[in-house]
Amino acid sequence: MISILDYGQLITFGSNKFGQLAMGDFRERAGINLVGGVLSGRTVKDVACGHNFTVIATDGKYVHISI
């Protein structure tokens, strides 16, 4: 699961079996994760996710794909 916060930050939670939490790994993670890394300093505008992918669109037409 994935959600955009009021200020354009991204949180993910749930299964990370295929790396779909956009955290850069496949480790099991408990609780809610604030996604940073390549998204630091960017405002998330839209997201889409499935069982084994996450697509994140930000300001400045930047797209991050986690498969």
pLDDT category at 4 given cuts 50, 70, 90 is very high
pLDDT category at 9 given cuts 50, 70, 90 is very high
CA distance to 22, 42, 44, 66, per residue, from 51 (Å): 12, 25, 20, 11
| Per-domain boundaries in the chain | 2-66
Does residue 67 register a pLDDT over 70? no
Cα distance between residue 29 and residue 15, in whole Å = 8
How crowded is residue 35: how many other Cβ atoms within 10 Å of its Cβ? 22
